[in-house]
Structure 1
């Protein structure tokens, strides 16, 4: 890729927020807020890939004005440029929408920086992170995605990655560009900023662009228990404790054998799962 643009998204959050035991309100201090370890790892990956590919690394955050120090730290560590997407504060009781956040970030990146070659994020944020924003962002930018990476490298014009799987397994990936990748905080630490870079970042101008994040309301269509209620069983008539236990557990009764469905069709697999949940009373 010629003159690649590597964008690193940093989430500004207070990892030491406190909860009032009487009111339940969340109290946060901007002085203790900053990026998570996963975001720091993503920034280090972005700096290394930009150096290897001869491109630019730009740190972007969607946060209030207090997040300016976060971007100054990114400049001190070697980022070529930074950008803050300013949004109006929203009601903390409304759930944060990964889709709305991704939409605001994609709009700002395209308008201010152009089409990115690679977007890096942490695997999830430290506050209410679900890890869904990178996937939504890949859909907004119409590019490939690779999530949950523990290693990322760029050499000979190819982006290679290592993804963690269950049971200690690993998966090697060749990722086509453009792409959105989220990394886990594993095996890599953000470099230490030099003193001249830190002093220069203290007075650097931080570009700001207005953004909009609209909270998506939650609609409750029906109120029901989280799981089916326990069945009411009549008391067994037998006087023998052993027979009473057999009657309650149904050990000698006919049972429906387990059904195993093997299919390569995702739609058919989803239909089977939904039918099972409906039959058990979950839906």
Structure 2
């Protein structure tokens, strides 16, 4: 891989949108035939390809996953990635999968990227993954690399100072920010869609050898597993019924003495009568504060 130009990395997550989860053990079984990157990760890869072309840099696609993830990386080569790298990950280890909060994956990715390509100028991720959805890995990755972070971005473009971005805020608001480089950014799947690979590029990428970094995704040992058992929801705390005796309390629980309108079956003869019946019900219960409609 050439050393000219900044390194822009798209960190992809290998997930299965229709993974089967055992309700007792929590073990996740992934079907490689339907697994791949999420739409947010595809958007991140497209941004990486665009920014690399604009800056004359290099675009690399990296993931942590099993050997089945090689097909996802070959697709990244087909659309224009200059290099790919997979961090070996044993998805059948339930302890590592459950104990990792994103920090272990981020540490392994940061070590593998730095060892294979050198320090990256920009790392792009999806804002969240389809399997766990925490969105914590980009923040941990920024901590491991010692760079700034900008998460949950809707738009991203190059500027003289670094990157200009638009981030979503609560209440439907937007925030325009300036991101200095180097940085880690996570993007949401908006109007930017990953380009389609040409047929010659797809055929050429089929035989590509995927380099693998054998690193350990560890945990701190604070998670412990007990015997599998069925899920039981927590009991709800309800106030005690009012009443001096058992009969009064039973009536209060059942609501037998509460005044209420009995249900009735309405069979309107026309759509207009049905609309009048519905409007009358809404006025009666205070949902509408308008005068009655004229009789038809």
TM-score (norm 2): 0.72
1:70 matched residue in structure 2: 72
Select the residue among 189, 199, 203 that pairs with 1:199.
Answer: 203
Indicate if the aligned counterparts of 2:6 and 2:57 stay in contact, CA closer than 8 A.
yes
Select the residue among 126, 133, 144 that pairs with 2:130.
Answer: 126
CA RMSD of aligned residues (A): 2.8
List per-residue Cα deviations over 1:230-271 (Å, max 9, x = no partner): 48669577xxx9xxx9xxxxxxxxxxxxxxxxxxxxxxxxxx
Select the residue among 192, 202, 208 that pairs with 1:188.
Answer: 192
Aligned residues: 235
1:35 matched residue in structure 2: 37
What secondary structure sits across from 1:88 in the alignment? coil
TM-score (norm 1): 0.75
Indicate if the aligned counterparts of 1:97 and 1:216 stay in contact, CA closer than 8 A.
no
- Name segments (4+ residues, structure 1) moved above 2 Å: 18-28, 87-94, 155-158, 215-220, 226-237
What secondary structure sits across from 1:45 in the alignment? helix
Change (3 A) 1:30 1:219: closer
Indicate if the aligned counterparts of 2:161 and 2:180 stay in contact, CA closer than 8 A.
no
1:21-60 mapped onto 2 (5 Å cutoff): 26-60=28-62
Could you tell me how far apart the structure 2 residues matched to 1:24 and 1:66 are? 21
2:11 matched residue in structure 1: 9
Per the TM alignment, residue 157 of structure 1 is displaced from its structure 2 partner at its CA by 5.3
Indicate if the aligned counterparts of 2:156 and 2:166 stay in contact, CA closer than 8 A.
yes
2:257 matched residue in structure 1: none
Could you tell me how far apart the structure 1 residues matched to 2:160 and 2:195 are? 24
Query: Does 2:183 correspond to 1:179?
Result: yes
1:161 matched residue in structure 2: 165
Question: Which blocks of at least 5 consecutive residues in structure 1 are unaligned?
Answer: 221-225, 246-283
Select the residue among 75, 96, 107 that pairs with 1:103.
Answer: 107
Larger radius of gyration: 2
Per the TM alignment, residue 43 of structure 1 is displaced from its structure 2 partner at its CA by 0.2
Per the TM alignment, residue 3 of structure 1 is displaced from its structure 2 partner at its CA by 1.5
